[in-house]
Amino acid sequence: MAKGIMIIVEQRNLQIRKVSLELLSQARKIADATGEPVVAVVLGQGIDELAATVAASGADKVILIDDAKLAEYTTGAYTSVLNKLIRKEEPQAVLIGNTAVGKDLAPRLAQRLGVGLASDCTGMEADSNSFLTFKRPIYAGKAFAHLTSNVRPIMATIRPNTFPVAAPDAARQAEVVKEAAEIDAADLVAILKEVAIAASKRPELTEANIIVSGGRGMKGPENYNILEDLADVVGAAVGASRAAVDSGWKEHKFQVGQTGKTVAPTLYIACGISGAIQHLAGMGSSKFIVAINKDPEANIFNVADYGIVGDLFEVVPLLTEEFKKLVNE
């Protein structure tokens, strides 16, 4: 009989991704209300030390699959190993962060298991009839669909910054189980040789609590330094609209929108962004939106919680100075 909420914990360089901690925190709340256990699965190499962190974050059981072939994420190996594990454990639900890894892995797992997938969800709660109900934006964020399933396991990917991370409980004890990785040669069609990561002190765009984004109003790539100055003061990530990326001002990895990255920070500061529907689809779930635009009729003001009508080249430096004062107090 299916039992438990399984979280596929994503880690990078033995650092657990924030979205996985969010999922553990929310799953713990649901587990306390439903009596279901929380099972966390960690894949990688040399991952023993992560068990304590995962347990403190809400897991009742931690499954470690430690193998050199799993040191870096590869689609074939991870899909094969997790498919076998899920069939063995028979959880009620399987949850994965809606990250680059999650978006690659989850649909393949769902296909292998023969189940549906609720993708890019921005809400999850207990349901007395179907165990879990998920909420996800549709029609570029203009409406929300509420999804349930009677097929087990229920599978979903959850957008980063959807749930708060609960304070870890160091006293929490979890059962730790080590499973062998059964990886066939056919699972290693693609082998990852090297991962090149650009050095940056700023948080990753999809996990940042604050994002400062610039659009066509930036007028050129040389002007992004004023956004970077503000971002560095408040500990924010820097983003860009599709217009700015298409103009070659920023790389695609910085693009926020329907054809870029979907983000849900606590604070989103949109500078010189008109508010095209494609962009709104990628940042509409932000908790607070501040828009800076000299056009009072710009569509971005229709979704903004706070709006500043003015020249961003004058407004942003003033904001930076004010935030510096607050930070130094």
Tell me the backbone φ, ψ of residue 53, rounded to 5 degrees.
-65, -45
Distance in angstroms (rounded) separating the CA atoms of residues 252 and 242: 8
Annotated binding site: 216, 241-242, 255-259, 272-279, 293
Known binding-site residues for FAD equal 216, 241-242, 255-259, 272-279, 293
* Cβ-contact 180, 68 below 8 angstroms: no
Q: Give CA–CA dist 85/180, Å, rounded.
A: 10
Q: Are 214 and 225 in contact (CB under 8 A)?
A: no
* Cis peptide upstream of residue 153 (ω within 30 degrees of 0): yes
CA separation for the pair 294, 182 (Å, rounded): 59
In angstroms, the CA 108 to CA 90 distance is: 17
